[in-house]
Homo-oligomer: A and B are copies of this chain.
Amino acid sequence: MTETKADQPAGEAKPRRRQARGERRIQQLLDAAASVFCRAGYAGASTNAIAREAGVSPGTLYQFFPNKEAIAVELGERLTHRMREAHGVLFTPEYASLPLDRMLDAVVDPMVEFNCQNPVFLTLIHSGDIPGLMTEDHDALHVALQARLEELIGFIQPALPPERRTRTATMVFSLFKAGLELVLAHEGGERAAYIEELKASLHGYLAPIIGAETPSRTP
């Protein structure tokens, strides 16, 4: 027992007294980071550029984050938290009783909405470049979402072998990411059209698997 007053588990000494000013700076820095990550990707974003965008010096940035990766991790955590509180659990077992069209609306629309307002989320989750440790956090989100998906698919079509169910969830996740990129790459009417295409593609893929009676999607 090395600690005397502060009850840290000795393994990690993280938290630190923050003033209101500090919390504001952290938010400024995370906003700046989101902007720069979107523009240049994680690897292409320099910490100096993030500090500049936030209007502070590089030294100030490192008052609040131990390293570049921690910025992405904290940003990711705040985004996932905001996503959960904005749309609840996102997909619950009760969705399984909906017809495929409605279920896709119920799942895809909020997800698209969220990603349009927080485009950095896709940048972080795509992460072709994010190095090592970030994988823990990134995978945590990835695995959690995919587990939800698998669960939902299991409710809808219990006859599916578990191996096939995993593949289906992986596939849906990947197709969704691809469609989402196209949605974010367009604006206005084009964006709306791509949202419909995204739903149509998911419908077309899932309908034969879950044995839906509707032959196609009617927009």
Contact = CB atoms under 8 A, between A and B. Distances in A.
A41 interface: yes
Given A41-B128, A44-B129, A201-B201, A174 B170 contact: no
B208 A216 contact: yes
A43 interface: yes
Given A43-B129, A205-B200, A174 B167 contact: no
Interface stretch (A59-67, A80-88, A148-156, A178-186): A178-186
A5 B187 CA distance: 54
A171 to B, nearest CB: 5
Interface in A170-208: 170-171, 174-175, 177-179, 181-182, 190, 193-194, 197, 200-201, 203-208
Residue in A174, A181, A207 whose Cβ sees the most chain B Cβ within 10 Å: A174
Contacts of A178: 174-175, 177-178
A126 interface: yes
Contacts of A128: 41, 126, 128-129
A47 interface: no
Contacts of A203: 204
